[in-house]
Amino acid sequence: MSEQSKFLLCLDIGNSSAKLGKFDHGVLKKVISRGTKEFLRNPKILFSKVGNEKLPIVYCSVVPEVEKKVISFARENSLDLNTFTWDLFEDLPISYPNPEEIGSDRLANAYAAFHLHSPNSIVVDIGTATTFDVITSWGGYEGGVIAPGPQGYLDFLHWKTALLPQLKVSINQSFDQPFGKSTEAAMRLGVRLGHDHMTRGILDNLMEWFVGKHQIKPKVLLVGGASENFNLISALFTPNLTLEGLALAYQRKHFEIFNS
């Protein structure tokens, strides 16, 4: 294995943000994040922050328009760009009937959960959408649940009403009472309390499936751009899980695994 091959860039293109991580011998050394719209206008805004060397890049994307721009950018700059698809896996079972339907970011999360945390896991990804992915030791990636993300609640209230304002989800905003004294506070509380109870309710059902049916307590992993706003006491916060899954799968596929 060449020294150059031990370095890798991993790119996670989400609906709201794009995140680039630089790995050195399998260890995540640097992470840069920008808004997806900003990244679409100028892909260099991320790549210029990790040095000038042309390292292999593996990416996952849920935004086709941005993916096309990245492919074009890579071609113009002679970059080694590698997409991340379900058939990249050789050591993660996928028991989902139509694996091509699974978002590549969710598969990257599942891969990292399975190999780095526990083969029996639930990954809760709170972003533009809120997704729950179930991974088991006997079936690998089993399936999941897709629900609205917290920002989606606020957007819906604005788009579907005449008077409610457009708001953005606040980071770590606390409330001293369970009701608002203003329209804005009422909306933010509705999202915080409603999304929190929805998330816990879905998670409770998934936990019951594991514990009640299979007598296994899974590990719960929390990831996603909006996940810092919602505290799940039983979950391990893993903000770079997607990048770690991208890197590990690529390394195992192309270089076995980085141990040296």
Over range 158-173, report the average pLDDT.
86
- Residue 208, domain member (yes or no): yes
- Of residues 157 and 6, the one with the higher pLDDT is 157
Do 133 and 224 fall within a single domain?
yes
Name the domain boundary from 51, 83, 115. 83
Residue type, 26: G
Q: pLDDT tens for residues 195-206?
A: 889 999 999 999
pLDDT band for 25, please (50, 70, 90 cuts): confident
Domain assignment of residue 158, given as a range: 93-239
Specify whether the CB–CB gap between 85 and 245 falls below 8 A: no
Do 230 and 124 fall within a single domain?
yes
- Of residues 134 and 255, the one with the higher pLDDT is 134
Q: What whole-number distance in Å separates Cα of residue 29 and Cα of residue 45?
A: 18
pLDDT at 258: 45
**Quick one: tokens of 173?**
């905003």
- Of residues 178 and 133, the one with the higher pLDDT is 133
Percentage helix, strand, coil, to 5, in the chain? 40, 25, 35
What proportion of the chain, given as a percentage, has pLDDT over 90?
67
Do 54 and 104 fall within a single domain?
no
Name the domain boundary from 46, 64, 83. 83
Specify whether the CB–CB gap between 105 and 242 falls below 8 A: yes
pLDDT band for 226, please (50, 70, 90 cuts): low
Give, in order, the Cα–Cα distances in Å from 46 to each of 34, 36, 224.
7, 11, 19
Do 60 and 163 fall within a single domain?
no
pLDDT at 54: 83
pLDDT at 124: 95
pLDDT at 1: 42
Over range 3-25, report the average pLDDT.
87
Instruction: Give the helix/strand (H/E) hosting 201.
Output: helix 183-208
Over range 227-235, report the average pLDDT.
70
Comparing CA positions, the residue from 239, 257, 240, 237 lying closest to residue 248 is 257
Give catalytic residues, as residue numbers. Answer: 105
- Of residues 71 and 229, the one with the higher pLDDT is 71
**Quick one: tokens of 23?**
């790995």
pLDDT at 53: 72
Specify whether the CB–CB gap between 124 and 235 falls below 8 A: yes
Q: 90, exposed or middle or buried, with CB in 10 Å at 0-12, 13-18, 19+?
A: exposed
Instruction: Give the helix/strand (H/E) hosting 203.
Output: helix 183-208
- Residue 160, domain member (yes or no): yes
Q: What whole-number distance in Å separates Cα of residue 187 and Cα of residue 179?
A: 10
Which residues, 6+ apart, have CB-to-CB distance to 237 below 8 Å? 222, 223, 227, 228
What proportion of the chain, given as a percentage, has pLDDT over 70?
91
Q: Is the pLDDT of residue 130 over 50?
A: yes
Least confident of 23-32, 84-93, 232-241: 84-93
List the CATH number of the domain containing 18. Answer: 3.30.420.40
Q: Is the pLDDT of residue 260 over 70?
A: no
Q: 139, exposed or middle or buried, with CB in 10 Å at 0-12, 13-18, 19+?
A: middle
Q: pLDDT tens for residues 72-89?
A: 999 999 999 998 887 777
Q: What whole-number distance in Å separates Cα of residue 130 and Cα of residue 205?
A: 15
Over range 141-166, report the average pLDDT.
94
Q: What whole-number distance in Å separates Cα of residue 174 and Cα of residue 177?
A: 9
Do 136 and 20 fall within a single domain?
no
Residue 248's φ and ψ, nearest 5 degrees, are -65, -45
Domain count, the chain: 2
pLDDT band for 51, please (50, 70, 90 cuts): confident
Do 41 and 117 fall within a single domain?
no
